[in-house]
Structure 1
Amino acid sequence: MHTSTTSTAALQPWTAEELVLATQGYWHNNQMPQGAIKRILTDSRHAEAGDAFLALKGERFDAHDFIAQVAEKGCQIAIVSQPVDVDICQLVVSDTRLALGALGAYRRQQNPQLKVIALTGSSGKTTTKEMLGSILSRIAPTLITRGNLNNDLGVPMMLLELRPEHQYAVMELGASHQGEIDYTSNLVQPHVAGILNIGTAHLGEFGGREGICRAKSEIYRHLAKNGTAIVPSADDFSEQIKTAVHHQKVLSFGQGGDIFASNIDLKPQETVFSLHTPQGLRTVTLPFAGEHNVDNALAAVAFALALEISLDDIVTGLEQAQGAKGRLNFIPHKHHLFIDDTYNANPTSMRAAAEVLAQQEGIRVMVIGDIGELGASAAIEHYKLGRDLVSVKGINFVVAVGEFAPATQEGARSTQYGKKMQAFLTQEQALPLLMNLVETHQTQSMSFLFKGSRFTHMEKLMAQLMEKL
């Protein structure tokens, strides 16, 4: 699995001169560290001798307050935006957040051998990234964005992990505000850059999908002159995305694109399809369920082909790919099936997950938490979701949990299938109903799918139910 673990490999060390060169800072009182600096880090809990601690300032915290603590642990270097009264070498910079970006960009420039993919999208980023990781890391050492380190702090932190042996980097770029992807794509300097789709995630921050499209299209701004732009051909916003691309080389994926699928055979836990590419035709057995994962695979193929990876290597990598934790993981338990899709959620991925559940055996129960970051349209989006989920053929029950569960239930009741939906404000309230469902269907196997935005921690409810069975 590429996502969860922190890197244990030795990082490329820094010199005091390089830190100045990268950040344009100066050493306070000319007090300069001697010897190699093993790593730059922002978490004071892990600081030790040989590290440089970079003190970030947030709205509710200021890590300059922790510099005395890291000095006590033996850390001799701090990167600060104003000097503090602690006996430690201090590199003073104008803004530590921007300094982190500059350090990441410097490390990127020190590795000219690297071929970089940058990708963004409203859904499918993590799965596409894992598929690309599976394709590329078979060929050469590859750096892959871990977890959700995809923002203006996470991207440079990932770049700090670059080592001379890395030949490829797959960088996920997230957008939570206009200008963020412009900033991070400038740091990563991609050879291949692309958008997977324009959905409804983060609607609140952008005031609509047009705003999301504009924000994500910033990914093409820093693409290498001879680089390749990857665009979705079957997205509602395909035309708008294409207008943001000013590059010679463009590869499109999806229906009507350069790379597309036919003869799609959706099985409960895998998908078989014919892969059409400019390099030829192959049959792919993808170890992922759901038609949305065919789209993710097509995107991964487009990115890999743009790096001139052979079609045979691409297919082998796809067929050996593993899902990220909490992304449609199938867990047999007793004589039931649990599908853990709790990593995150948006309206598009919720509907895609329902289609996967509908393919499974026995009594099918979808348990959903709230979707975050929908702003003023949250209630109406949950209403539409309730209406659509109960209408999916093959789903027997939908259990909604959270603040917006009543809105979801209202949507369900606007259809003839309203009785399929139960709504609860908390997980504690929902658990007895789920146990009751199991008891009333004692003789039958059941398939449960759990999903919600990260903050809802739907995996806790899933674990509690599994324990009680």
Structure 2
Amino acid sequence: MHTSTTTTAALEPWSIEQLQQATQGYWLNDKKPDDQIKRILTDSRHAETGDAFLALKGERFDAHDFVAQVADQGCQLAIVSSPVDADICQLVVEDTRLALGHLGAYRRQQHSQLKVIALTGSSGKTTTKEMLGSILSRLAPTLVTRGNLNNDLGVPMMLLELRAEHQYAVMELGASHRGEIDYTANLVQPHVAGIINIGTAHLGEFGGRDGICQAKSEIYAHISETSIVPAADDYAETIRQAVSTGQVLSFGAGGEVYASEIELQSQSARFVLNTPQGAKAVNLPFAGEHNIENATAAAAFALAIGISLEDIVAGLEQAVGAKGRLNFIQHKEFLFIDDTYNANLTSMRAAAEVLAQQPGIRVMVTGDIGELGSAAAMEHYKLGRDLVSVKGLNFVVAVGEFAPAAQEGARSTQYGKKMQAFLNQEQALPFLIHLIETHQPQPMSFLFKGSRYTHMETLMAALMEKL
């Protein structure tokens, strides 16, 4: 277990002077707390004595409305962007969202002993991050981005958890708009950073893959030591143009860190990891060729901060996948693969290849992919066409608003009969139960995947309950 997953360890306290210095705010009144501040938080429900409550403002909410409530809970300090009529000491800043960034950056700057890795990409970020967490936390206390705390609020929140004993930090940076990675990478100040790949996640926001590449390439402006680049990506040339460090390390086919002698097994993989430091065999406890790519990326990041090849291999072999990322669950005589955490077009196709390696009748259950903008119907059409063409898949059950578009794509091939489309989970469930009944007693493997908002884990749980 990474040290990052346990927030029970006491956070480093803040003095009143440090808070003001970091945020450049002014004190509204003289009722400053005598003691140090134990933690800074943005969720009013958990605020208590010893905390500073930072009131964020969003499009649909304003946490300034909860300042009086946190005062009643014993909280003695609020960080606000406009004074509030409440009996509590207030540090008034220009913008609380930016103040959170300033506080995260201040905390990061206090930890000169820290080696920081930052990574971004369209797919595989979380798995690569978990692999790096496994490599580094074997060696020393490591802070690893939790869950999806990878945006302009999540990244500084993670930095606030830095403690004196941390030797490494692995920060995942996400982009939902231009300028976001420029902002978060500047807070993180990584020694080593890079892009894993340029896919199709958030196509809608960026108006195409060129825009995605530009947004993610912002990470290269903030690296102090080594830039990591994907050698085999079709944007590899464009990515290299964004690099500004002297030292560059590439991974993937044609790169300096790459896999050879690949053997894909149903729930794992074997390969030889080739690096400038030599080559070593790896037994990877993850399925699918895309996870070998993630492992070579993790190896490149780790090598760049001076980790030995032996330690990298040991860490990769002990790595555990994040929840909802290709987790294999044996339920009675059925295999369920829970890949419901999220989806994009690239990872959906990769998941189909993993399912094709499994025993028995293979059923892929897909939810919609979000954030594709005006390209959504066409992209789902292409996805439907591609999924039914994967050798080894027996059935594809598409669920959601764009399921009919996926089915049209499937019907443009000779394998159209493999796909069934349903507008919602309630309609899909009876069909899945029927599939099981008609194929008894043959072994069956199911893989569930969709974008986060589709909650495909709900359908998976409902089916398991009926068995």
Under a length normalisation based on structure 2, what TM-score does the superposition of the two structures give?
A: 0.99
Q: Aligned residue for 2:393?
A: 395
Amino acid at match of 2:260: S
What is the distance in 2 between the residues matched to 1:6 and 1:43?
A: 18
Per the alignment, residue 154 of structure 1 pairs with 154
Partner of 1:424: 422
In the alignment, is the contact (CA less than 8 A) between 2:2 and 2:137 conserved in 1?
A: no
Deviations 1:355-378 (A, max 9, x none): 000000000000000000111101
**Structure 2 counterpart of 1:72, one-letter code:** D
The amino acid across from 1:320 in the alignment is: Q
SS in 1 for 2:166: coil
Counterpart CA distance in 2 for 1:145 and 1:215 is 20
2 CA distance for matches of 1:175 and 1:3? 25
The residue aligned with 1:342 is 340
What residue is the counterpart of 2:48 in the other structure? Answer: 48
Q: In the aligned structure 2, how far is the partner of 1:5 from the partner of 1:363?
A: 37
Structure 2 residue matching 1:353: 3-state secondary structure: helix
Structure 1 match to 2:298? 300
Structure-to-structure mapping, 1:66-145, within 5 angstroms: 66-145=66-145
Q: Which residue matches 1:198?
A: 198
Task: Report how far residue 30 of structure 1 moved.
Answer: 3.3
Indicate yes or no: 2:77 matched with 1:39.
no
Q: Name the CA distance, whole Å, in 1 between partners of 2:118 and 2:105.
A: 14
1-side partners of 2:307 and 2:323: how far apart? 27
Q: CA deviation at 1:49?
A: 0.5
Deviation at 1:5, TM superposition (A): 4.7
One-letter code aligned to 2:104? G
Q: Is the contact between residue 3 and residue 147 of structure 1 (CA under 8 Å) also seen in structure 2?
A: no
Task: Tell me the equivalent position of 1:408.
Answer: 406
DSSP-derived class of the 1:448 partner: strand
Select which of 271, 276, 279 maps to 1:278. Answer: 276
Aligned AA for 1:69?
A: Q
Aligned length: 467
Q: Which residue is equivalent to 2:447?
A: 449
User: Offset at 1:31?
Assistant: 3.1
Which residue is 1:325 aligned to?
323
Residue 4 and residue 443 in structure 1: after superposition, are their counterparts in 2 closer, same or farther (change >3 A)? Answer: farther
Q: Post-superposition shift, 1:34?
A: 1.3
Q: Which residue of 1 aligns with 2:175?
A: 175
Q: Which amino acid aligns with 2:267?
A: Q
CA contact (8 A) 2:396 2:418 kept: yes
CA distance in 2, matches of 1:364, 1:160: 45
Residues 4/377 of structure 1: CA separation in 2 closer, same or farther (3 Å cut): farther
Partner of 2:438: 440
The structure 2 residue matched to 1:371, chosen from 369, 372, 389, is: 369
Deviations 1:139-192 (A, max 9, x none): 000000000000000000000000000000000000000000000000000000
Deviation per CA, 1:256-304, whole angstroms, max 9, x where unpaired? 0000111110000000001110000101010000000000000000000
Query: Does 2:349 match 1:356?
Result: no
Q: C-alpha distance in 2, partners of 1:116/1:394?
A: 42
The C-alpha deviation readout for 1:71-94, integer Å capped at 9, x for no partner, is 111111100000100010100000
Task: Show structure 1 runs of 5+ residues with no match.
Answer: none
CA distance in 2, matches of 1:267, 1:396: 19
Amino acid at match of 1:49: T
Change (3 A) 1:163 1:191: same
Question: Does the CA-based 8 Å contact 1:64-1:80 persist in structure 2?
Answer: yes
The Cα of 1:35 is off from its aligned counterpart by 1.0
2:232 maps to a residue whose letter is A
| C-alpha distance after superposition, 1:334-364 (max 9, x if no partner) | 1110000000000000000000000000000
2:329 alignment partner AA: I
Pair 1:176–1:324, CA change in 2 (3 A): same
Bigger Cα displacement from structure 2, 22-31 vs 363-372? 22-31
Q: What pairs with 1:154-303 in structure 2 (closer than 5 Å)?
A: 154-224=154-224, 227-303=225-301
| Residues 3 and 137 in structure 2, CA contact (< 8 A), matched pair in contact too | no
Distance in structure 1 (CA, Å) of the matches to 2:438 and 2:424: 22
Question: Which residues of 2 match residues 22-37 of structure 1 at below 5 A?
Answer: 22-37=22-37
Shift of 1:443: 1.1
CA apart distance, 1:29: 2.3
Cα deviations across residues 214-237 of structure 1 (Å, max 9, x unaligned)? 00000011111xx00000000010
Check the 8 A contact 1:3/1:145 in 2, yes or no: no
Counterpart residue type for residue 326 of structure 1? G
Uncovered stretches (5+) of structure 2, i.e. residues with no partner: none
Give me the identity figure in percent. Answer: 80
- C-alpha contact (below 8 Å) 2:195/2:217 kept by paired residues: yes
Show CA shifts across 1:35-67 (max 9, x none): 110000000011000000000000000000001
CA contact (8 A) 2:3 2:143 kept: no
Confirm or deny: 8 A CA contact 1:204 1:373 kept in the other structure: yes
Residues in 1 aligned to 2:373 and 2:96: alpha-carbon distance in whole angstroms: 30
Change (3 A) 1:112 1:70: same
Query: Aligned partners of 1:124, 1:198: CA distance in 2, in Å?
Result: 11
* Cα RMSD (Å): 0.9
Whether the 8 Å contact between 1:2 and 1:146 is mirrored in structure 2 is no
Counterpart amino acid of residue 320 in structure 2 = Q
**1:3 Cα shift?**
10
Secondary structure of 2:143's counterpart equals strand
Match of 2:262, SS state, is strand
After TM superposition, give the deviation of residue 8 of structure 1 in Å.
Answer: 1.4
Q: How far apart, CA to CA, are the structure 2 residues paired with 1:3 and 1:162?
A: 10
Distance 2:323 2:433 in 1: 25
Question: Could you report, residue by residue, the CA deviation over 1:307-349 in whole angstroms, capped at 9, with x for unpaired residues?
Answer: 1101000000000000000000000011110000000000000
Deviation at 1:4, TM superposition (A): 9.4
Q: For the structure 1 residues 280 and 158, does the alpha-carbon distance in structure 2 shift closer, same or farther, using more than 3 Å as the test? A: same
CA distance in 2, matches of 1:6, 1:79: 26
Deviation of 1:2 after TM superposition, in Å, equals 4.8
SS at match of 2:29: helix
Q: Do the aligned partners of 2:4 and 2:145 also contact (CA within 8 Å) in 1?
A: no
